[in-house]
């Protein structure tokens, strides 16, 4: 994953502030946070389902 330093983060935030304005920036940040939380939750559910399916397949194999 790409590491973002302090300078890069500052530039990204400054551009976002200029493009979105100070009133809309918190709304966009909140929406982005909700979306990221949903994505992580969905990813975890998919991984858990794959693990369950893998465990079921292992149980069906003859030993």
What pLDDT score does 56 carry?
A: 78
pLDDT at position 1 over 70: no
For 29-43, how does the pLDDT look when each residue is reduced to its tens digit (9 = 90+)? 899 999 999 999 999
Whole-angstrom Cα distance, residue 45 to residue 51?
10
pLDDT in tens, 3-60: 889 999 899 989 999 999 989 989 988 999 999 999 999 999 999 999 888 887 777 7
pLDDT for 63 equals 62
DSSP run (H or E) holding 51: helix 25-60
- Domain range annotation of the chain: 22-63
């Amino acid at each position: 994953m790409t590491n973002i330093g302090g300078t890069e983060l500052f530039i990204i935030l400054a551009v976002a502030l200029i493009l979105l304005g100070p009133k809309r920036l918190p709304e966009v940040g909140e929406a982005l946070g909700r979306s990221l939380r949903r994505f992580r939750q969905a990813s975890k559910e998919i991984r858990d389902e794959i693990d369950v399916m893998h465990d079921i397949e292992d149980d069906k194999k003859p030993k």
